[in-house]
Amino acid sequence: MIIIVGAGPAGLAMAAELARRGLPCRVIERGQAGESWYHHYDRLRLHTLKQVSALPGLPMPSDYPDFPSRAQFLAYLRQYARHFALPIEEGVDLRRADVEAGRWVLRTSSGILEASALVMATGIWSAPVRPRLPGDERFAGPILHSRDYRNPQPFRGQRVLVVGAGNSGAEIAVDLAEHGIETGIAVRSGVAFVPRPRSAAAMRLAAWGLRTLPASLAARLLQRRDFRHLGLPLPPGSPLAHYPVVGYELPQAVAAGRVTVYPEPERLETGTAHFVDGRSAPFDAIILATGYRPALDPVAHLLDYDTGGRPLLDRYWRSRTNPRLVCIGYTYPTTEGWLQALGRVVRAAADGLTPSMLNIADRVGTLNVER
């Protein structure tokens, strides 16, 4: 038996792929299927077209817009689980996993489970990165992570600083500014912007080319628009190394004077942020759009990591130290959307879980998952 931990997009797609191959699995999820999508901010929409963002085997509904909303994508994930009758056990929290006598022993909130292979698909949402800002203990207002932001309503009449200019930080800053809230955004290391895609075929072709071309040629083909005149410089290094911000809404808001750009905060004082360029400005609240780390605590003692805190995996997404441990959803491509790459990822991961490795005697009924 293969146990998948997490019923988000990666876990659901992996379960469907295993079922298609007749490999028995069960999915455990500490919340509900699609849990993190219940909690994302209201404004969130997919950054990639629905035609390339659907999970393997089930297109998104035809009446969805090109860039589905958070609520629409959540409804789609629930539909996906029902459509393939995926074996999901909700409300089961994995606390620790160990290998004992060649088998996985999982200690969960519902008791002990055993498995021949373990697929971690817990994502990153439950593990926000919250860096300390010097002087944050003296800052009188709230300092929250972007994970806890839902909409501008609690910030009416306030001055808000968003720290971090990735997709979440950019969208939250624009969301606040569009609702009349005085907004600043701190850009620490540059930001690369790309236009919203218009063609699914072009997205697929571009992703294929950027994966297969030599890196030096791919980097020349990958154009990132430069907004340094607005205080939004490109990040250093190859454009292949940076995940882009999709859409030009933030540069447009900055150009219109609705969002003020600052560099990295140097320190905080009561109601004030001081920046490394010598400027200071008053703020009532700070939102840290500072990213996430892989939510792998139950198996952290069994993994090796790279310098960015991501697990070291082989080409089948298996741990380099244990081929019966698969980790999907913790490394995001910079040249295509994560959902766009997901079908390819789960097929490779399933390829690595061979029947001989798993010692599976019986097969289960297969699903007709189209390619």
Exposure string for 34-54, b = 16+ CB within 10 A, e = fewer: bbbbeebbebbbbbbbbbbbb
80-127 pLDDT, tens digit per residue, is 999 999 999 999 999 999 999 889 999 999 999 999 999 999 999 989
What pLDDT score was predicted for residue 357?
A: 67
Q: What is the pTM of this model?
A: 0.90
**Angle CA 179–181–183, to nearest 5:** 120
pLDDT given for residue 336 in this prediction:
79
Q: Over 80: is that where the pLDDT of 370 sits?
A: no
Of 44-58, 257-271, 325-339, the one with minimum mean pLDDT is 325-339
Would you say 334 and 244 are in contact if contact means Cβ atoms under 8 Å apart?
Answer: yes
* C-alpha–C-alpha distance, residues 287 and 114, integer Å: 41
Q: Are 19 and 364 in contact (CB under 8 A)?
A: yes
DSSP letter assigned to residue 118: E
Q: Is 313 exposed, middle or buried (0-12, 13-18, 19+ CB in 10 A)?
A: buried
How many beta carbons lie within 10 A of that of residue 187, not counting itself?
22
> How confident is residue 364, by pLDDT bands cut at 50, 70 and 90?
very low
Name which of 266, 40, 259, 227 is nearest 147 in CA terms: 40
The average pLDDT across 311-327 equals 94
Q: What is the mean pLDDT of residues 318-338?
A: 88
Residue 362 has pLDDT above 50, yes or no: no
CA 146 to chain CA mean position, Å: 13
Could you give the residue ranges of the DSSP H alpha helices within the chain?
9-20, 50-53, 70-83, 167-178, 200-212, 215-221, 249-255, 338-352, 355-358
pLDDT at residue number 367: 39
- Would you state the pLDDT for residue 7? 97
* Residue 371, pLDDT score: 35
Mean pLDDT, rounded, of the chain: 91
Alpha-carbon distance of 53 to 97, in angstroms, equals 31
Domains of the chain (ranges; CATH) run 2-126+292-358 (3.50.50.60), 136-288 (3.50.50.60)
Which of 77, 92, 70 is closest to 26 using CA atoms? 92
**Are residues 249 and 178 in contact, defined by beta-carbon separation less than 8 angstroms?**
no
Would you place residue 356 in the very low, low, confident or very high pLDDT band (cuts 50, 70, 90)? low
More confident residue, 358 or 64: 64
DSSP 45: B
pLDDT > 70: percent of the chain: 95
Predicted pLDDT at 189: 86
The H or E element that residue 24 is part of is: none
Instruction: List pLDDT tens digits, range 171-209.
Output: 999 999 999 999 999 998 899 998 888 888 877 777 777
Q: Does residue 223 sit in helix, strand or coil?
A: coil
Q: Give pLDDT, residue 194.
A: 87
Q: Are 122 and 325 in contact (CB under 8 A)?
A: no
Task: Work out the percent of the chain whose per-residue pLDDT is above 90.
Answer: 76
Phi, psi dihedrals of residue 342, rounded to the nearest 5°: -65, -40
Place of tokens 């509900």: 32
Residue 55 has pLDDT above 80, yes or no: yes
Q: Categorize the per-residue pLDDT at 363 as very low, low, confident or very high, splitting at 50, 70 and 90.
A: very low
